[in-house]
Amino acid sequence: MDLYGKMAATQDMKGKGEGGDQNFDYMFKLLIIGNSSVGKTSFLFRYADDAFTSAFVSTVGIDFKVKTVYKNDKRIKLQIWDTAGQERYRTITTAYYRGAMGFILMYDITNEESFGAVQDWSTQIKTYSWDNAQVVLAGNKCDMEEERVVSVDSGRLLAEQLGFEFFETSAKDNINVKQTFERLVDLICDKMSESLDTDSAVTTGAPTAKLTDSAPPLQQPGCNC
């Protein structure tokens, strides 16, 4: 089994073997990264709590929330880490990249500098994470059309160049928030399926059920999300 399969299995066994809510099949570690004040915390609050406040409180270090989603009758627990965008916290935030299965790399469509920093954040992912981590690029604050300085096409083009999926989002107006997370989960599941396929073919030469198949359920350590 490759690293992807191992991570999912390990996380799963942890969830079932120790305290806390044990009602889940898989746990995915996700990170939201990007420049300060692009709306990472608001984005997470909208997704996890369906709440929004315009008051800005700069995140100190790192924080996280947990949300459970369902996919093909499997319960997937998302541990979503909200990172501080300020440079002074870079040491502590990059320490949490390890083991992350997905990233939401966020910029602010009204802030050119935050868009210009996307390439650097992408490099950070490559440096501190692992090759199979999935990334979605999110251009946040798309409700502020009058203040837009980054076009949709620019965002889409950059996402293509970097090999990321792309959404424009608004935590304030709840636009594409859920879709961004759902797409990221899909990408991770697809990747897990590929990894298990490859792993199984290499080790046994036998065909395996894909992660994206809906039935029948695959027993651990395989998965079927």
Partner 1 sequence: MGQTIGKPTSNPFQNSTLFSSLKRSSSSQPTCDQNTRPSIFSTLKRPPVSKPSDFIPLFNDCIYAASSRTQEYLLFKDPEDKFHPSPEVLTQSVNLNMTDTFNCTVMTPEQRILLGADWVWAVLEKPTKNPRIQIAVQVLHMQEREDTEENGITPEACSESLQMAQKESSNKSTYERLVDFCTSIGKDCYALFLFFGKKNDKGNIYGVLSNNFEAAIGKCNNIDRTFIENFFKGSRVKHFMSLLFLLNC
Q: What residue ranges bind partner 1 (CB under 8 A)?
A: 14, 18-21, 57-58, 60-66, 79, 86, 88-89, 91-92, 95
The span from the CA of 81 to the CA of 32, in Å, is 6
As measured in angstroms, the least distance from the Cβ of 73 to partner 1 is: 21
Pick the closer one to partner 1 by CB: 60 or 201: 60
Pick the closer one to partner 1 by CB: 16 or 161: 16
Nearest to 153 by CA among 184, 183, 121, 109: 109
As measured in angstroms, the least distance from the Cβ of 112 to partner 1 is: 17
As measured in angstroms, the least distance from the Cβ of 11 to partner 1 is: 11
Q: Which residue's structure tokens are 């090999």?
A: 163
118, two tokens:
């996307």
Taking a C-beta distance cutoff of 8 angstroms, is the pair 154, 127 a contact? no
Pick the closer one to partner 1 by CB: 78 or 125: 78
Pick the closer one to partner 1 by CB: 51 or 95: 95
Q: Which DSSP state fits 206?
A: -
Q: Where are the beta strands (DSSP E) in 117-221?
A: 134-140, 165-168
The span from the CA of 216 to the CA of 70, in Å, is 16
Pick the closer one to partner 1 by CB: 86 or 212: 86
As measured in angstroms, the least distance from the Cβ of 36 to partner 1 is: 8
As measured in angstroms, the least distance from the Cβ of 82 to partner 1 is: 10
With the CA atoms of 122, 125, 127 and 131 taken in that order, what torsion angle do they form, in degrees rounded to the nearest 10?
-110
